[in-house]
Amino acid sequence: MGKRKVRTQAAPAATASREGAAPRGRQMMMKKKTQCLDEQEIPFRLREIMRSRDELKNPKSKKKKKKEKQPGHILEGDIPVPKFKRRKGEGDSTYIGRIERETQHVMFLTKYQLQREPEKEEPVPEKSQRKKDFQKKKLDKIRRKKEEKKAALLEKDFLKDSVKFGEVAEQPPTITAKPRKSVVKDKAGKKELLLTSLLGSGGTPSTPKVFHASLARQRIVQEERERVVQAYRDIKKRKQQQMAESQLAIDKLKKPV
Q: What is the DSSP string of 166-187?
A: T---SSPPPP-PPPTTPPPPPP
Region of poorest pLDDT, from 51-60, 133-142, 167-176, 181-190: 181-190
Is 110:79 a contact under the CB 8 Å cutoff? yes
| Side-chain-side CA neighbours of residue 238 (13 Å) | 6
Query: How much is the pTM?
Result: 0.22
pLDDT at residue 42 is higher than 50: yes
pLDDT at residue 140 is higher than 90: yes
Cα–Cα distances (Å) from 25 to 21, 30, 31, 32, in that order, read 6, 9, 10, 11
Reduced to 3 states (helix: H, G, I; strand: E, B; else coil), residue 37 is: coil
Name, of 80-84, 183-187, 225-229, the range with top average pLDDT. Answer: 225-229
Which among 25, 16, 119 is positioned nearest to 33, based on CA atoms? 25
Distance CA 126, CA 129 (A): 9
- For residues 204-218, give the mean pLDDT: 62
Region of poorest pLDDT, from 46-60, 99-113, 190-204, 212-226: 190-204
- Residue 53's pLDDT band, with cuts at 50, 70 and 90, is confident
* pLDDT value of residue 141: 93
Distance CA 77, CA 83 (A): 19
Question: CA 96, 100, 101, 106: dihedral to nearest 10 degrees?
Answer: 140
* pLDDT value of residue 230: 92
Mean pLDDT of the chain: 73
Query: Which residue has better confidence, 184 or 89?
Result: 89
* pLDDT value of residue 52: 81
Query: Which residue has better confidence, 246 or 252?
Result: 246
Distance CA 186, CA 15 (A): 137
Distance CA 156, CA 238 (A): 55
Distance CA 37, CA 30 (A): 11
Distance CA 196, CA 202 (A): 8
Region of poorest pLDDT, from 30-44, 126-140, 149-163, 211-225: 30-44
Q: Which residues contact 221 (CB under 8 A, 6 or more apart)?
A: 207, 210, 213
- For residues 93-104, give the mean pLDDT: 88
- Residue 79's pLDDT band, with cuts at 50, 70 and 90, is confident
Q: Which residues contact 195 (CB under 8 A, 6 or more apart)?
A: 228, 229, 232
pLDDT at residue 46 is higher than 60: yes
Q: What is the DSSP string of 102-168?
A: HHHHHHHHHHTPPPP-TTTSPPPPPPPHHHHHHHHHHHHHHHHHHHHHHHHHHHHHHHSPPPPTT--
Query: Which residue has better confidence, 150 or 62?
Result: 150
% residues pLDDT > 70 (the chain): 58
